[in-house]
Structure 1
Amino acid sequence: MSAQKSAEERAGAEPGRDSLRAHPRFLRVWAGQASGAVGDQLLPVALSLYILHRGGGAGEVGLVLGGRAVSLVVCLLAGGVLADRMRRTRILFAADLFRAGILLLAALVLPVVPLAALPLLTTLTGAGEALSRPAARSLVPTLLPDSLLERGNALVAGAHRSSAVLGALSGVSLVALVGVRPALFLASLVFALGALTVLRVPDRAPAPAAGQDRRSVLAEAAYGLRAVRGQPWAMAVMATVCLHLFAGSATALTLLPVVSRQHFGGDVAYGVVLSAMAIGALPALALAGRWRPRLPGTVSMLILTLYGLVPLSLAAPFPLPWVIVCFALGGFVVELYFVYWATALQRAFPSDALGKVFALDQLSAYALLPLGYALVGPMVSTAGTTGTLVGGGLVVVASSLLCLAVPGVARLGAQPEKDSSAVAPEAPLPAGSPGA
């Protein structure tokens, strides 16, 4: 009973209330992250259309999208280390305020900025995102009790997806009606609102593990690496998602605005298809928040094979209604997987390593993404648009199925439930050991 009480107090909840509404600190952080998600989606949409309007092509779009990916790869681990050393709400505030300032400056000077310099804009905003991601995700289990983690993660992902719909449609609409500069002003405003939302949320810096002094930055990073290496199932899933982004997302997102102009009538189709992916995720979040499958990893990897339809739908291309359906299905399977995956990491790793684990998760996912964006243009020149998209879809399907062969993936590291008549082990596994 005392453990349950302390968990409720730590999460800032009213004791006895098994509801997210009883955790106001979590809801404030959630609202701030939802605001920032609008800006995260609005910026790449607006810049991609701006490049096409200025006469650029798939290569230039890929470089702009790749700028964000490069920044994430370079800065995520630093963000994870900071998330385990500082107050996480301060990191979120600083990251949102930084992005707001960068976008405001970009909106003011955009008329004199050449296309070749636009990747710098996405690189700088990506740095702010890299700092905020580990802090936001490792903050969730400090604000909610264990029984509400699935619901909390589902609500966070739902806010991101709902905001992505608004961001995509706002980006397309603003660029079409009044130009890219108002879109950048709006993105700056939503980041500023996100910063204000978390400004007064009470929070404490994570304490070092018992008996350990605060480590150096390099030692902290090495500690996070050792924690992940001790969980082979986690490494396998991270590698699989890395291939998905490299082969599936990079090709589909780079070629979608090009295919939309060539086959679907223009920029409006681009925004509609992106919004369909975000909308398709919402029923998955409702499902994942309440359904706890016995083998969450098996469910996740099998449904992620359907993400291959995202690039494949553009290869023919399918008629626009079918492309919309495929992207919506892609959003559904990604978010169903994400809720189970984030919850598994929050339960499997200690608090003083969690920020670094989430940073390594994101770092591994984006490790090959800059290369993927950079290769789209040359691949289209060599294999054609159809060949590039078909190859990306096949890599997604094959890697998802191969991941299931790794021990521990089926349960995402969770121990199988033991029968009450079974003999208890002599001693519990130490925290952070493989399979713990």
Structure 2
Amino acid sequence: MTASPRLSENTSSQPSILRNQAFVRLWSGTTASGLATWALPFVLGLAVLDRDLSPAGLGLLLAAHTVGFLVAVTVGGVLADRYSRRRVVLFSGLAAAAATPVIAVGMGWSVPVMTVAAAVAGAGQGACRPAFQALTAEVVDEGRRQQANAAVTLSVRVTTLVAPALTALLATVLDTGVLLLGIGLLWLVTAVLPPAGAPVPRPGQSHGSFFAEFADGIREARRHPWFLAGLGALTAVIATGYSATGVALPLISRDRYGTEAILAGAATAYTVGALAGALVIARWRPRHQGWAALAGLACYGFAPLSLILPVHPLLVIAAYLLAGVGIELFNVP
């Protein structure tokens, strides 16, 4: 009984994580990457509204970006274990920073060039994810990592909401090409701002081969049936849901409702729903987590269903709100 006050006193006496300059730099880089990540699909959707990009072109760009992300994030964890996490962030951020302006240059000129650039940008996004997570443990002592994780989580949640809204606001005075250049600058900040972390052994000192470590990860994944089931379900939703709505929503917003407000409203409602879902799952512990997670993922089906018929715009926004809640009920478990 006497330990609790002492623990509370020690916890409250710890300095704020925001006084750690290394973490503030890391947090700022993470925030910049989040803004760039969530702004890009929205900017491409605006390009369709402005008829700078065809629906087929948008579909190709979104698919290439997703493939690049999935390939890079698959191996990014191994790279972060074998090499300097700071260096992984640097090169992946620079790759995305260089590729994003190429998308702007290719707009209305060459869809294949834009597609390759989108794949490289997605790869940069995917490769930096595991390295950012590992850098947090390197620059923050164990006693303040909970503060650090909370600050990073808050950044992630806020950027998913702010990026589309800020992009919609800037789109009233800037064209698509300038917005894409701005995203490239955000990736440049992501690359150069984070601090150096703790040194790691060079390959060969304490690591096996790259492929051996990758195979270890696959074997570990196979030991968790719900992980594989969730990964398969998420792959199906990305292939048939995210891709379809990513192309259809800008078109329907323009052609059916005659305004980009539906695109902005649906994107905002989705992120608000995700925030609400995160709050729910932070307190709710379902008895069967696997089934509850898959049920949450199924809620994404409301989004494409709302686009089939000419329903009231508020129903479209409500459907995206439910989809956001459901996707977070799936993501956290």
Taking structure 2 as the reference length, the TM-score comes to: 0.81
Indicate how the Cα distance of structure 1 residues 294 and 141 shifts in structure 2: closer, same or farther if over 3 A, else same.
farther
1:32-431 equivalent positions in 2, closer than 5 A: 32-54=29-51, 56-104=53-101, 107=104, 109-110=105-106, 113-137=109-133, 156-200=152-196, 202-205=197-200, 213-293=206-286, 295-340=288-333
Indicate how the Cα distance of structure 1 residues 283 and 193 shifts in structure 2: closer, same or farther if over 3 A, else same.
same
Contact 1:170 1:183 in 2 (8 A): no
Contact 2:271 2:321 in 1 (8 A): yes
Aligned length: 321
Counterparts of 2:65 and 2:321, CA distance in 1: 24
RMSD between aligned alpha carbons? 3.4
Indicate how the Cα distance of structure 1 residues 319 and 50 shifts in structure 2: closer, same or farther if over 3 A, else same.
same
* Residue 419 (structure 1) aligns with: none
Counterparts of 2:14 and 2:226, CA distance in 1: 31
Kindly state the Cα deviation for residue 260 of structure 1 after the two structures are TM-superposed. Answer: 0.9
Output the amino acid matched with 2:198: D
Query: Which consecutive residues of structure 2, in runs of 5 or more, have no partner in the other structure?
Result: 1-8
Kindly state the Cα deviation for residue 258 of structure 1 after the two structures are TM-superposed. Answer: 1.0
Q: Secondary structure at the match of 2:307?
A: helix
Q: Secondary structure at the match of 2:332?
A: helix
Q: Secondary structure at the match of 1:264?
A: coil
Contact 1:43 1:171 in 2 (8 A): no
Output the amino acid matched with 2:184: S
Kindly state the Cα deviation for residue 56 of structure 1 after the two structures are TM-superposed. Answer: 4.6
Counterparts of 1:101 and 1:71, CA distance in 2: 15
Kindly state the Cα deviation for residue 228 of structure 1 after the two structures are TM-superposed. Answer: 0.9
Kindly state the Cα deviation for residue 339 of structure 1 after the two structures are TM-superposed. Answer: 2.6
Output the amino acid matched with 2:62: L
Counterparts of 2:299 and 2:16, CA distance in 1: 34
Counterparts of 1:313 and 1:296, CA distance in 2: 27
- Give deviations 1:24-72, integer Å, cap 9, x for gaps: 4666534322221111122222223324534654322111111101212
Contact 2:59 2:247 in 1 (8 A): yes
Counterparts of 1:274 and 1:30, CA distance in 2: 24
- Give deviations 1:128-178, integer Å, cap 9, x for gaps: 0121123234556675869977x8767545423421333223333444432
Q: Secondary structure at the match of 2:82?
A: coil
Counterparts of 1:57 and 1:112, CA distance in 2: 9
* Residue 433 (structure 1) aligns with: none
Q: Secondary structure at the match of 1:177?
A: coil
Counterparts of 2:299 and 2:217, CA distance in 1: 32
Q: Which has the higher contact order (CA 8 A, sep 6+)?
A: 1
Contact 1:19 1:148 in 2 (8 A): no
Q: Secondary structure at the match of 2:208?
A: coil
Counterparts of 2:229 and 2:264, CA distance in 1: 33
Contact 2:106 2:114 in 1 (8 A): no
Indicate how the Cα distance of structure 1 residues 84 and 28 shifts in structure 2: closer, same or farther if over 3 A, else same.
same
Contact 1:89 1:199 in 2 (8 A): yes
Indicate how the Cα distance of structure 1 residues 91 and 304 shifts in structure 2: closer, same or farther if over 3 A, else same.
same
Contact 1:20 1:148 in 2 (8 A): no
Counterparts of 2:201 and 2:221, CA distance in 1: 19
Counterparts of 1:227 and 1:147, CA distance in 2: 29
Query: Which consecutive residues of structure 1, in runs of 5 or more, have no partner in the other structure?
Result: 1-13, 341-436
Contact 1:99 1:188 in 2 (8 A): yes
Counterparts of 2:148 and 2:278, CA distance in 1: 10
- Give deviations 1:273-324, integer Å, cap 9, x for gaps: 1122112222333344455555443432333332221111112243111211
Counterparts of 1:134 and 1:213, CA distance in 2: 19
- Give deviations 1:254-277, integer Å, cap 9, x for gaps: 211111112222323212211221
Counterparts of 2:256 and 2:223, CA distance in 1: 48
Contact 1:18 1:148 in 2 (8 A): no
Indicate how the Cα distance of structure 1 residues 223 and 17 shifts in structure 2: closer, same or farther if over 3 A, else same.
farther
